Amino acid sequence: MLHVVPASSVNTLRRGALVHAFDITPKMVELARQRCASLPVGIVEGDLCAPLIWLSDGFFDKVVCSLAFDYVADLQPVFRELRRVARAGATLVFSMSHPMRDWIDERNHANATYFEVARFGSYWSGFGEPKPYVQVYRRSLSDILNGLTKVGWTIDCLVEPRPLEEMVAISEQLYADLSREPTLICVRARADC
């Protein structure tokens, strides 16, 4: 789900922010509408890989996208479209799989080099049976960051999150794994003036 917040808004929904969100999956849109039923949030079906024709140029001051870019073959057009709808100085915050985490697992190579965009799939656990088969794109860090900066975004911050100490109590093994190698990247960028 991608969330965009217009420039005329305040920081949070509770303080009066206007939020527009979209997802390509009808079921996710339905669930988001149920969850936000009492809030002033506009939620529609939309494809991140297509022009966001229902959104105005230079209208938003915040764009948030959590773990959606992994499903996109070519990020540069998406970054360009998000830059179009963002006002000068707006903030884009996104997270996605860390390129090295995907590369370390040889099953994800898809007979490609690290520097090629490659599609691979896996069965996700933790969602019950049958386990869903999910396909994503693996790409280099330079492909991600250069695609972002080429279309008018400046990177403010890049974070490779590490687990909190409290996670040891939940799973020592998972804590050890996440402490050894990065799983995600989180990026904050600013729309150039």
The tens digit of pLDDT for each residue in 15-52 reads: 667 788 999 999 989 998 998 888 888 899 999 999 99
CB within 8 Å of 149: residues ≥ 6 apart: 155
Structure tokens at 78: 């998406």
CATH of domain 2-97+140-191: 3.40.50.150
CB within 8 Å of 71: residues ≥ 6 apart: 48, 135, 136, 137
Cβ atoms 131, 123 nearer than 8 A: yes
Report if pTM > 0.95: no
Question: What pLDDT is stored for residue 147 in this prediction?
Answer: 95
CB within 8 Å of 134: residues ≥ 6 apart: 121, 122, 123, 124
Q: Write out pLDDT tens, residues 93-103.
A: 999 999 988 78
